A and B are shown apart, each in its own frame.
Chain A
Amino acid sequence: MSTAELLGKQEYKYGFITDIESDMIPRGLDEDTIRLIVEKKNEPEWMLQFRLKAYRQWLTLTEPKHWPNLVYPEVNYQGIIYYSAPKQRVKKASLDEVDPELIRTFEKLGIPLTEQKQLAGVAVDAVFDSVSVATTYKEKLKKHGVIFCSFTEAIREYPDLVKKYLGSVVPTNDNYFAALNSAVFSDGSFCFIPKGVHCPMELSTYFRINNSESGQFERTLIVAEEGSYVSYLEGCTAPKFDKNQLHAAVVELVALDDAQIKYSTVQNWYAGDEEGRGGIYNFVTKRGKCAGRNSKISWTQVETGSAITWKYPSCILLGDNSIGEFYSVALTNHAQQADTGTKMIHLGKNTRSTIISKGIAAGKSNNSYRGLVKVMPKAEGARNYTQCDSMLIGSNCGAHTFPYIEVMNNSSRVEHEASTSKISEEQLFYLQQRGISQEDAVSLIINGFCKDVFLQLPMEFAVEAQRLLGLKLEGSVG
C-alpha cells in the first residue's frame, strides 16, 4: 500500500458530534457581547470591568501574523459565537444531575464522570464548549484544603483569590489572543493548593469543543502556596468539522516559596483532513511564575492535534533558586503547522531552566521550535540547558528551530544543542527483520526519540501519548 493510501486509513476517533441543545448568544463581538456573557454567567461587576478593559486593549492590539512560521487565512472574529453552553434544566447540584448525554460524551472520550466509574487517583473537571459540566472528587480534595472547581464557581465562591491572581502572570494586554481570552473567556478550571499540602491526587481538566461555530476560550489558574505540590493534567479533543474553529486559552500558574507545579498536556484537537480542511486554530498563552524562592514549575506537553498551534508555555523565574522546565513533543502530519516552544525568563539568582524539545514532522507539515532564554542582569549564576531535536518523516515536511538567547550578566551559563534526523530505511528494515511490523517499528523509533519527554509524564498519560503518536503516524512511512 502506498503512503497516501495508508494515511487515508487513519481516523480521528474523537471526531463525533454530541447532539445536544445549546444556549448560544448571537455571533460577533462588541462590548454588548461581553455584557451578555457576564449576564449569562451572573458575574460580579469587577469581572465585567476586567473583561471590558481587556476588550478595549484587544482592539488596540494586532494579531501576530508576521513572526510565527505559520500561514493561515484571515480569522473573522465577528463570525464566531463567543458563548455556547449545553442547556440544563436545573443547575447541577451533583454529578447525578448532569445531562446524561454529556456524561455519555465524556465516557466515549474515556473520561468517566459518574461516581461509580470515576478514574482512580485523578480528579477531573470536564469542560464542554464554554462551560464546565462536572468536576469529580471535589469533596475529597476539600478535606485537604485543595480547591478544584470550575472558573465560574471560583469567581462566585473565592472572589478574593481570583481577584488576587487573575491576570497576575498573563496581563490582559500581554498579547492579542490573551487579551481576547481575557475579554470573553467563559469557563475553565481553578486550583488552589494551600500551604504545605501535597495534593493527594492528580488534577485534570478535559476540554471538549462540540459546537462548530463557537470558539473555546477557557482560563486556567493554578496557585500553589508555600511548600505545596500539585500535578495537573490537561486533555482536549473536538469533533471533525470542515470549518476551522478558534481555541484561545490562557493558563496562569503561580508557585510560591518551595512550591512545585507540574503541568502536563496531551493536546489532540481535531487537526483537519489531509488537505488541511478544517481543524482547530490553537492560539494559547501559558505562563507560570516561580514567584517564591526554590519554587519549581514544569511544563510537559505532547502536541499532536490542531491545524495550527501557536503556543509557548513559559516560566518567569523570579524567586532565587527557582527552576523552570519545558519538555515538549510536537508532532505534525498532513497539512498541520506548529510554531511552539517556550520562554525562560531568569530574574532571580541561581535560577535554572531546562528545555527539551522534540519536533516530529511528517506529511507536508511544518514544525517550528521557537524558544527564548533571557537572563536578566540580577540573575547571577543562572543556568539554562536547551536541547532541540527534530525528526523528519518523508521529504515534503519542514522542521525549523528559532532559538533566541539574551544574556545580560556574565556569571550565567547557557547551553544549546540541536539535531535533525530522519527515520531511515535501514532502521525500519532492521526492526522489521526482527518481526516488528512497519507501523510498530515507526512507533518504536518515535517513542525512543521522545523518551526524555515521556519520562516526565504521569504513567497513564505516557501510555496514552505513546499510543497517540503511533496512531497519528500510521502509514506515514513507506
Chain B
Amino acid sequence: MLEIRDLYASVDGNEILKGINLHVKKGEIHAIMGPNGSGKSTLAKVLAGHPAYEVTRGEVIYEGKNLLEMSPDERAREGVFMAFQYPIEVPGVSNAQFLRLAYNEKRRHLGEEELDPLEFKDLLKQRAKVVEMDASLMNRSVNEGFSGGEKKRNEILQMAVLEPRLSILDETDSGLDIDALRIVANGVNQLHGPNTAMLVVTHYQRLLNYIVPDFVHVLSQGRIVREGGKELALELEQKGYDWLKASNGGPNGLGVTAN
C-alpha cells in the first residue's frame, strides 16, 4: 500500500529526514518510535503533505500513485488520514458541519451521492459510538474549548467518519489519561481491518499495549536505526533510547527488516 524509498526532507533548510525506507502492506500496523527530534512527526507530516516540509530526495508510492505529487486534500480524498498531535481549532465552524463537508468531498471524489444534513446526522451519531463521544460536541466549534482528551477523540471520530485506507496517528497518546487512552485505542482498533494500514507514531510504548503493531521502526536523527516486531517496543521501554546510541545500529539497523 505504501512504499517509502530513500526519503529526505527538510524544514527551513534543516534536513530532518535522511533516507527513510519503509514498506507497508494492507492489514498491517507499523509503529514509528524514536526520541524527541528524531523525525517521527516530520515523517507523518511529509506523508500528509504539510506545506512547510520540503522533500529533497526520494519517493513515496501510495496505492501505485506518486503521493508526493498530490496536494494535501487530494491525498486525504485518496484515503490518507493523519490524526494530529495538536488538533487545530476552527472558531464558528461546527464539528458536524466540518465533518459533513469533509465526508461529502470524499463521496464526490468516489463518484457517490452527497449526504444531506439529516442523513449525515444519523451517520455521525453511529460513528460517534466508536469513540464514545458525546453528541453535544457535534454542534460545538471544531476543537474550540475541547479538553485535550476530547480533541484526540475528535480526531479518531474524524477517522471513523472518513474511513481512510492509510491512517497516520501522530502522538495520539500524548496528553491522554489512561481511560481516554483506552477509549481512543479501542476506537482505532475498531477501524482497522484487512484492507487498511496504520502508521502509529509514538514516543512511548504504552499506546502499543492497546494498538498492537506488527512492526516497530525506531528513528534516530532522521534514519531508521532499528526494526523489529512488537517486542522491540518493550525492549526500548526497558532500556531507553540511550541504548540505541550505545549500540549504534546505523541505517536500517541490525534488527529484523520489515520488508
Please give the residue numbers on chain A whose beta carbons come within 8 Å of chain B beta carbons, in ascending order.
424-427, 429-438, 440-441, 444-445, 447-452
Contact = CB atoms under 8 A, between A and B. Distances in A.
Given A425-B51, A444-B98, A444-B101, A433 B90 contact: no
A449 B91 CA distance: 6
B162 to A, nearest CB: 7
Contacts of B73: 432-438, 441
Given A431-B90, A435-B76, 5 more contacts: A429-B72, A430-B84, A433-B49, A437-B105, A448-B93
B158 A434 contact: yes
B88 A430 contact: yes
B118 interface: no
Given A434-B162, A436-B73, A440-B101, A448 B92 contact: yes
24 contacts: A424-B88, A425-B52, A429-B48, A429-B49, A429-B50, A429-B51, A429-B72, A430-B84, A430-B88, A431-B90, A433-B49, A433-B81, A434-B98, A435-B105, A435-B109, A435-B162, A436-B73, A436-B76, A437-B105, A438-B73, A444-B90, A445-B90, A445-B93, A448-B90
B102 A435 contact: yes
A451 to B, nearest CB: 4
Contact of B72 (A424, A433, A444, A451): A433
Nearest to A450: B92
B203 interface: no
B153 interface: no
Contact of B88 (A426, A437, A450): A426
A448 B91 contact: yes
Contacts of B75: 433
B90 A432 contact: no
B223 interface: no
B85 to A, nearest CB: 11
Scoring B50, B73, B90, B162 by chain A CB atoms within 10 A of each residue's CB, the highest score goes to B73
Nearest to B141: A448
Nearest to B91: A448
Nearest to A448: B92
B158 A432 contact: no
A430 B82 CA distance: 9
Scoring B82, B93, B158 by chain A CB atoms within 10 A of each residue's CB, the highest score goes to B93
A434 B102 CA distance: 6
Q: Which 4 A-B pairs have the closest CB atoms?
A: A448-B92, A448-B93, A435-B76, A451-B92
B87 interface: yes
Contacts, number: 78
A386 to B, nearest CB: 18
Contacts of B102: 431, 434-436
A427 B72 contact: no
Interface string B18-58: 00000000000000000000000000000011111000000
A430 B73 CA distance: 10
A409 B73 CA distance: 56
B101 A447 contact: no
A308 to B, nearest CB: 28
Scoring A426, A431, A434, A449 by chain B CB atoms within 10 A of each residue's CB, the highest score goes to A434
A444 B84 CA distance: 19
B192 interface: no
Interface string B65-105: 00000011101110001101001101111000010011001
B217 interface: no
Contacts of A438: 71, 73
B88 A427 contact: yes
Contacts of B162: 434-435
Contacts of B84: 430, 433
Given A430-B87, A438-B73, A447 B92 contact: yes
A329 to B, nearest CB: 12
Contacts of A427: 88, 90
A436 B101 contact: yes
B127 interface: no
B226 interface: no
A440 B108 CA distance: 14
Contacts of B76: 432-436
A23 to B, nearest CB: 48
Nearest to A478: B51
A435 B76 CA distance: 5
A424 B162 CA distance: 24
B106 interface: yes
Nearest to B88: A430
A449 B88 contact: no
A302 to B, nearest CB: 15
Scoring A430, A438, A447 by chain B CB atoms within 10 A of each residue's CB, the highest score goes to A430
B160 to A, nearest CB: 13
Contacts of B141: 448
B45 to A, nearest CB: 8
B77 A444 contact: no
B93 A432 contact: no
Contacts of B109: 435
A414 B110 CA distance: 53
B232 to A, nearest CB: 29
A404 B76 CA distance: 48
Contact of A432 (B52, B71, B81, B91): B71
Contacts of A437: 73, 105
A6 to B, nearest CB: 13
A430 B88 CA distance: 7
Contacts of B87: 430
Given A429-B72, A430-B84, A436 B92 contact: no
A391 to B, nearest CB: 10
A427 B101 CA distance: 16
B99 to A, nearest CB: 8
B150 to A, nearest CB: 16
B106 A447 contact: no
A447 B142 CA distance: 13
Contacts of A430: 84, 87-88, 90
A433 B79 CA distance: 10
A436 B87 CA distance: 16
Contacts of A425: 51-52
A452 B92 CA distance: 8
Nearest to B101: A436
Contacts of B51: 425, 429
A435 B92 contact: no
A429 B48 CA distance: 9
Contacts of A444: 90, 93, 98, 101
A441 B51 CA distance: 15
B92 A449 contact: yes
